Structure 1
Amino acid sequence: MNRREFRRAAMPRAPQWLLLLLVSACSRGSFGGEVTNPDTAAPEKGGKTTGAEAGAAAPKIKHERVVFHWTSGDDSLSGRLKTKLPDGESFEGRYHEITKTASVAEYGDFYNAWYADPWVGPTWYWGGAWPYYDTVEEFITRNTGKVVATLDGDRGDKMRCHFTLDDPDRGIKGGGTGECQLSNGERITSRFEPQ
């Protein structure tokens, strides 16, 4: 027996069940979204317009499609989320499903990122889909059963996302709807189907 044959014989093969377990431990998927640029969006219902705006036709809302790719970790409650915008900027970061048994330590970093620079100041609206919560505990309570994410762009922009799940027991694999907000003011709405 030569050295090469000895090495092959000496290295045990992994059992097939172990390989299947390793492959199934991580799940992957993707879903689409649509970017809305606020600079070209028409004024919101009930919003005031100036005399010049009143006489002009409302600007068209700019819509562009994006695709999000996710990879879940071993616990299926958390993982990585990434996307590339039509202008070429790539974003990547963590997502996590908030559960009833969540501890403050698990979500403090999400809370702190959501309510810090660049998401502060008079240009940001805290009502509607993005209310402000005074404490991490309140943030956890209000977002239980949802997925939250914070992503960093390769050009310095940031993105925060929250998704309402159709089936929280299945996590992100169960489908849902959501919205992401970019630090430049753009928004991305999405709907993803169960896998």
Structure 2
Amino acid sequence: MKNRFLSHAKATLLLLPLTFAITLAPQAVKADEVGGALWRGATYATIAAVAYTNPFNADSFRFTTGAYPDHDAIQFEANLRYDLTETKHLFRAVTITPFLDVSYSAWQFSKDGLNLTNKGNVLGIAPGARIEWPTFLYVLDFIDVRAGVSILAPTQLENKDDTVRDFGGNFTFSEQFAMGGYFSEQKRWEWQVGIQHHSNHNIYEQNNGIEFYNITIGYNY
């Protein structure tokens, strides 16, 4: 029974990025015709394959979507998480687990609709920690905090009002606060909501930061 459950869970994990890719395929065809649809589809198929097979021995895989209307943008993020040390007790039944997130994000600015042609690409790495307590009806079980660095390209993107968002350079800092819960006592699947911020902390002349309100679905291997 357990093996059957894990099989279904992994199949669901594979379908998440694939569903996203299939949903966007018509838009990709509209933007760059068949060639663009194929190579973009390969990107999301690769993410799905990595999530399913876990070739890098991550402790969890996470898929995030987020938005912030003031920035005319949405975000899609794929994330591999590694637990760094054993869980330690803070007090009583409250624990803390340090982790390291390695992520790839695509930022879609909606000036021309969701066509994948006006987007930023972000590769990030961020240490963080999960503070967890005994579950309450699997509604709210933990808080995640993390702070790290990212590489962004391109560094300028258009908004719907034709203004240009200038990030100043390719290097950014990234911070996130999130809270969430598990779907069952096995703690295989989890959800969380959070806010994420990117900016260069004024190391460049321009510093048009950006924030996203995120929803995340995660699977713990």
Pair in the same fold by TM > 0.5: no
Indicate the structure whose relative CO is greater, using CA pairs within 8 Å and at least 6 residues apart.
1
TM range (shorter): 0.3 to 0.5
Q: Which has the larger radius of gyration?
A: 1
Task: Choose between structure 1 and 2: higher strand proportion.
Answer: 2
TM-score, scaled relative to structure 1: 0.33
